[in-house]
A and B are shown apart, each in its own frame.
Chain A
Amino acid sequence: GESVGLHLPTLSVQEGDNSIINCAYSNSASDYFIWYKQESGKGPQFIIDIRSNMDKRQGQRVTVLLNKTVKHLSLQIAATQPGDSAVYFCAEKKGDSWGKLQFGAGTQVVVTP
């Protein structure tokens, strides 16, 4: 889930297993959500997005699930690989303005052999 304070939550995953990263969002009126991956020393990289009129969206090895009832977003990574080790964070768009895009603090994913 999202972090509070200075230490990111860490998800340790064995190579080949599936990863599930969670995000709780704050505004029931938010209607667009984005997942990013950030590797050490790099900028955030877009992974997948979803609009609120959808419950699920799939990409290559990734699936995003949206549960509007409990304001919860998850990112599933299939067959996790060492290259998936990174910080993952979600973003929610809270209104019409792109200035209202709010980012979570992120989850550190560590893939072990």
Chain B
Amino acid sequence: DVKVTQSSRYLVKRTGEKVFLECVQDMDHENMFWYRQDPGLGLRLIYFSYDVKMKEKGDIPEGYSVSREKKERFSLILESASTNQTSMYLCASNSDSYNSPLHFGNGTRLTVT
């Protein structure tokens, strides 16, 4: 089974702090993704990465950056956390074949106060 592991289930940070969310997958997947999930809005893509050191902006990249130095690890960085970044953050991965569903971690619930 594919395993996508997010390092924290819950985080509480203060406004202005730099926040790191970490994600590791164990299936040698080429693609990794960061989404945020808010009630009624579905999953919105922040960034995804299709290879080491390669990334593409998603629908809502503002206020976020990412890092992928190794194939199995994808980090989401909030440069200066704001209260409107309070959300559930979901990491996912898949292989680069055409019909390869995304596999998700269990999420990190971030609260910015």
* Chain A residues packing against B (C-beta within 8 Å): 3, 5-8, 32, 34, 36, 41-46, 49, 51, 89, 91, 97-99, 101, 103-106
Contacts and interface: CB of A to CB of B under 8 A. Distances in A.
Interface size class of B (residues with CB under 8 A): 20 to 34
A42 B101 CA distance: 17
B102 A101 contact: yes
A108 B58 CA distance: 26
Interface in B48-64: 48, 50, 56, 58
A6 B45 contact: no
Interface stretch (B13-21, B65-73, B74-82, B104-112): B104-112
Given A43-B106, A49-B101, A103-B42, 17 more contacts: A36-B104, A42-B107, A43-B90, A44-B43, A44-B104, A45-B104, A46-B102, A49-B99, A89-B43, A91-B102, A98-B33, A98-B50, A99-B45, A99-B58, A103-B43, A105-B42, A106-B42
Nearest to B6: A43
